């Protein structure tokens, strides 16, 4: 029997009585009377539909309060990444450097986005980053759009609409979310010419496919998968030489946007954008929010004539970068002017190259603090510092593991899935990973400023609070 069986619906208080409750008046002053009224109506609708709730004022008011706090809580909010995946697509990929965050804040108001302050005349938003990109990549010119898929689309539309583009079958990748290179090619109006096989494509395969309608050769770096064993592929330098022979430009989708030797850690096979430019690629495209460590953006760097043609394409306006992302990108690129500063200040690079001992120390600090706060005997879980393996993620450096350390939490009296859920629903939300009926808190991806909030969040849950934290009021 539900709690409200036998209690007539007429006992439900009227809206005007509920909204006059002092606690709801206080919330109404903060969030608005309309918000409170909607929360009351939603709560009462649930009761009338048979929700097992006693329909009395002293019961209803707390339910309304909870509904108000849920309704005013932002959907997009801070998360502590304890998964060990550095570029976690579901968690927004790369966190921004502090200088980039400050730049975004400055750009929120009026700015000289498209104003030349020297002349007072209309300027270009590209001017804020083009010279930086030219310096960092060695390219003649550069253009920024809203993501790398857009960059590839714009280049193909500009250079090859209605004409043939040759690409290896082994490089017809799926970028993510069922978004595939052939789809981008079709959208651009270019005609796809597949050559070679999945595991082997030779330079001769490209040569044999070149014809009067060939507009470009496209090479795609397989940044989100790896084929090993009986494989072969044509190098970028081979394609450039072939392109020069037939006066055909080579487009290289570099993917992750690595801008410095050694910045991706040991064993990295990611191509350097500077090297691709130096080898002669006519246009190189890459992401801003992967190994570059900046905001979502797509960069086109290469020959001045090709970049200029892309900028004049009407599609460029539809794909243009917004002012906040542009501000963050400019600030991030400025850090790269000194690679040592970039390694320290860009969070992605700092996480990739952080000394293993520092990660281990952070894990031990966390375990000791939890045991000190709650007492070892009072803990509702067993905590253990363990070796772990982190990864780059975000479609970068597949199969590359990074040594890490983590705290393994084995809960008692509650399922590990419930523990993980309680941490997800907290404020801030904490996301770990579940392995062998334990929750793994990997400290490779816990930002230094998040260590204390993480400790508080985990301590709350291990103390028995599995309700999740309410929104800040």
Over residues 413-429, the pLDDT tens digits come to: 889 999 999 999 998 99
pLDDT at 241 over 90: yes
Kindly list the distances between the CA atom of residue 67 and the CA atoms of 35, 36, 450, in Å, as whole numbers in the listed order: 10, 9, 28
416: nearest Cα among 468, 466, 469: 466
What is the pTM assigned to this prediction?
0.87
Pairing state between β 179-180 and 174-176? antiparallel
At residue 50, the pLDDT reads: 74
Reported confidence tier of residue 157, pLDDT bands at 50, 70, 90: very high
Mean pLDDT of 431-443: 95
Q: Which residues of 200-229 are buried (b: 16+ CB within 10 A; e: fewer)?
A: ebbbebbeebbeeebbbbbbbbbbbeeeee
What is the CB-side half-sphere exposure of residue 103 using CA atoms within 13 A?
A: 23
- Residue 76: Cβ-neighbour burial (10 angstroms; 0-12, 13-18, 19+): exposed
At residue 465, the pLDDT reads: 64
**Maximal CA-CA distance, the chain:** 88
Selected residue with higher pLDDT from 222 and 394: 222
* Cβ neighbour number for residue 138 with a 10 Å cutoff: 14
CA distance 251 to 277: 10
pLDDT at 454 over 60: yes
Reported confidence tier of residue 277, pLDDT bands at 50, 70, 90: very high
270: nearest Cα among 383, 396, 375: 396
How far is the first Cα of the chain from the last one, in angstroms, to the nearest whole number? 36
79-89+353-462 against 98-345: fold identical? no
The listed CATH number (3.30.420.10, 3.40.50.720, 3.40.640.10, 3.40.47.10) that belongs to domain 98-345: 3.40.640.10
Reported confidence tier of residue 172, pLDDT bands at 50, 70, 90: confident
CA distance 319 to 126: 13
At residue 399, the pLDDT reads: 60
Mean pLDDT of 263-280: 80
CA distance 77 to 92: 11
At residue 196, the pLDDT reads: 87
Are 334 and 97 in contact by the 8 Å Cβ rule? The answer is no
CA distance 334 to 353: 20
Mean pLDDT of 99-109: 97
At residue 472, the pLDDT reads: 42
288: nearest Cα among 105, 97, 448: 97
Q: What are phi and psi of 133, to 5 degrees?
A: -65, -40
Of 26-40, 81-95, 369-383, which gets the smallest average pLDDT?
Answer: 369-383
At residue 184, the pLDDT reads: 86
Mean pLDDT of 243-260: 92
Mean pLDDT of 52-56: 72
pLDDT at 265 over 90: no
CA distance 327 to 345: 16
CA distance 342 to 333: 9
Of 165-169, 178-182, 285-289, 439-443, which gets the smallest average pLDDT?
Answer: 178-182
* Cβ neighbour number for residue 421 with a 10 Å cutoff: 15
Reported confidence tier of residue 270, pLDDT bands at 50, 70, 90: confident
CA distance 55 to 356: 57
Structural domain boundaries in the chain: 9-72, 79-89+353-462, 98-345
Answer whether the bond into residue 398 is a cis peptide, omega within 30°.
no
pLDDT at 310 over 70: yes
Of 127-131, 168-172, 446-450, which gets the smallest average pLDDT?
Answer: 168-172
165: nearest Cα among 184, 144, 143: 184
Selected residue with higher pLDDT from 396 and 165: 165
Highest mean pLDDT among 254-268, 366-380, 447-461: 447-461
Query: Over pLDDT 90: what percentage of the chain?
Result: 70
Fold for the domain defined by 79-89+353-462 = 3.90.1150
pLDDT at 230 over 70: no
* H or E element that contains 271: none
Q: What are phi and psi of 407, to 5 degrees?
A: -105, 125
At residue 471, the pLDDT reads: 43
Of 74-88, 171-185, 317-331, 403-417, which gets the smallest average pLDDT?
Answer: 171-185
Kindly list the distances between the CA atom of residue 41 and the CA atoms of 22, 58, 200, 368, in Å, as whole numbers in the listed order: 18, 16, 64, 47
**pLDDT averaged over every residue in the chain:** 89
Mind giving me the DSSP string for 138-167?
--SEEEEESSHHHHHHHHHHHHHTTSEEEE
At residue 9, the pLDDT reads: 63
């Amino acid at each position: 029997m539900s709690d409200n069986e036998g209690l007539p619906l007429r006992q439900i208080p009227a809206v005007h009585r509920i909204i006059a409750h002092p606690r709801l008046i206080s919330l109404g002053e903060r969030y608005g009377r309309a918000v409170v009224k909607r929360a009351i109506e939603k709560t009462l609708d649930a009761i009338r539909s048979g929700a097992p709730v006693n329909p009395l004022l002293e019961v209803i008011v707390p339910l309304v309060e909870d509904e108000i706090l849920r309704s005013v809580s932002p959907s997009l909010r801070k998360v502590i990444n304890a998964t060990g995946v550095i570029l976690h697509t579901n968690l927004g990929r790369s966190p921004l450097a502090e200088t980039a965050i400050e730049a975004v804040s400055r750009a929120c108001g009026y700015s000289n986005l498209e104003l030349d302050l020297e002349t007072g005349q209309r300027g270009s938003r590209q001017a804020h980053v083009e010279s930086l990109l030219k310096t960092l990549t060695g390219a003649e010119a550069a253009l920024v759009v809203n993501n790398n898929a857009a960059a590839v689309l714009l280049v193909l539309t500009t250079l090859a609409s209605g004409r043939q583009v040759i690409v290896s079958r082994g490089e017809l990748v799926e970028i993510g979310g069922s978004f595939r290179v052939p789809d981008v090619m079709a959208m651009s109006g270019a005609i796809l010419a597949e050559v070679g096989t999945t595991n082997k494509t030779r330079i001769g395969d490209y040569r044999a496919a070149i014809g009067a309608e060939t507009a470009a050769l496209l090479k795609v770096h397989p940044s989100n998968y790896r084929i090993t064993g009986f494989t072969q592929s044509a190098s970028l330098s081979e394609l450039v030489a072939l392109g020069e022979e037939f006066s055909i430009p080579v487009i290289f989708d570099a993917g992750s946007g690595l801008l410095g030797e050694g910045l991706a850690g040991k064993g990295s096979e990611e191509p350097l954008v500077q090297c691709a430019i130096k080898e002669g690629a006519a246009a190189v495209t890459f992401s801003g929010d992967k190994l570059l460590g900046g905001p979502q953006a797509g960069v086109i760097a290469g020959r001045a004539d090709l970049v200029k043609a892309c900028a004049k394409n009407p599609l460029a306006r539809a794909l243009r970068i917004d002012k906040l992302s542009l501000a963050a990108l400019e600030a991030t690129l400025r850090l790269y002017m000194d690679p040592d500063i970039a390694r320290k200040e860009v969070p992605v690079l700092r996480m990739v190259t952080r000394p293993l001992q520092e990660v281990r120390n952070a894990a031990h600090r966390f375990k000791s603090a939890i045991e000190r706060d709650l007492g070892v005997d009072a803990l509702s879980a067993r905590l253990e510092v363990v070796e772990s393996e982190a990864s780059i993620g975000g479609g970068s450096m597949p199969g590359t593991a990074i040594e890490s350390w983590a705290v393994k939490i084995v809960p008692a009296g509650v399922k590990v899935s419930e523990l993980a859920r309680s941490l997800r629903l907290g404020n801030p939300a904490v996301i770990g990973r579940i392995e062998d009926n334990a929750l793994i808190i990997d400290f490779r991806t816990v930002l230094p400023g998040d260590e204390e909030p993480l400790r508080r969040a985990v301590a709350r849950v291990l103390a028995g609070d599995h309700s999740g934290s309410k929104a800040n009021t």
